[in-house]
Amino acid sequence: MNKPYPHPIIAREGWPFLGASVVVAVLVTHFAGWWSLPFWIIALFVLQFFRDPARVIPQDPKAVLSPADGRVVVVEQAMDPYRKVEALKISVFMNVFNVHSNRSPVDGVVQHIEYNAGSFLNAALAKASLENERNAVLARLADGTEVTFVQIAGLVARRILCYAKVGDNLSRGQRYGFIRFGSRVDVYLPLSARAKVAIGDKVSATETILAELA
């Protein structure tokens, strides 16, 4: 994996979209004056969607950090479909107004990456974990603890980006991917982990602690 991506305020994935929307808005303003207002609103939406703020990283080595901004929609015991073991599952749903930069929840080595094509159901639905387009990163911590985190496309999201590769050493809070326009991230942890969030909680990528490892 390349060096940790810096934080230029606006995510690099959004530069083409932002540039195009601003150019269109300027052209419409030139030829149609105030009729261009809807185009400026679209440009502002694109700007807020692709914002990529820097975050303060908690230093607790046992903390599992939120990989995304959004709202917690699942905290339960469930089967990790990639490791085939029972796990503590915590899911964060991102709407179109959340930051969509994804960050590693733990310090660990990437063991495996698995991409699955699929549907584009509402990412807040439980079946989205198994039926939607998704990309899973399986990581192992220095003490042998295994954690799985999965990017899941949503009803509007049609593009999952993952920059991590097998063998990469991910650092907690490190930017490793992006999902465009609404989505979800599932995190599977050992059953011994203790959840620090509840369903309905709003969380921030990197800064919110989802759970604590035993």
Comparing CA positions, the residue from 210, 193, 190, 173 lying closest to residue 53 is 173
Which uninterrupted H or E stretch holds 10? strand 9-10
Contact 206, 56 (CB under 8 A): yes
Q: Could you identify the residue written with the tokens 């400026």?
A: 40
SS3 186: strand
C-alpha 9 chain-centroid distance: 16
Q: Where are the beta strands (DSSP E) in 59-107?
A: 63-65, 70-80, 85-94, 101-103
Residue 163's CB is within 10 A of a number of other CB atoms, namely: 14
4 Cβ contact list (under 8 Å, min separation 6) = 171, 174, 175
Q: Is 119 assigned a catalytic role?
A: no
Of 21, 129, 183, 204, which one is the catalytic site residue? 183
Phi-psi label, residue 24: left if phi above 0, alpha if psi -120 to 50, beta otherwise: alpha
Provide the pairing of β-strand 169-170 with 108-116: antiparallel
Residues annotated as catalytic are 183
